[in-house]
Structure 1
């Protein structure tokens, strides 16, 4: 895990799939606390779980 975004929070809209998900995962890998935003709670839960499983910090916000 990187540290470039340590102590930063990133709100990533549309982060339940495709490029938004990749961006959320990349930000988390760099140390950011990622707020996953989207309309599908189930997909968002999977994204958040994946980030947390990789050692990152993430939460979900309904869009």
Structure 2
């Protein structure tokens, strides 16, 4: 299985500690490189829900 790609899209604008580009918290962004695959999957799933809650539109294209 391939590694989980960093979800950063280069927007990096934060509202209430959540990036409007990728949906991750500042803590998750800093910890990304040290997370294992399962933790990264969880972060990506949670960040997608945060973006929906914020109604942000900065996500990268779907596969």
Q: TM-score range by the shorter chain?
A: 0.3 to 0.5
TM, length-normalised to structure 1: 0.32
Structure with the bigger percentage of strand: 1
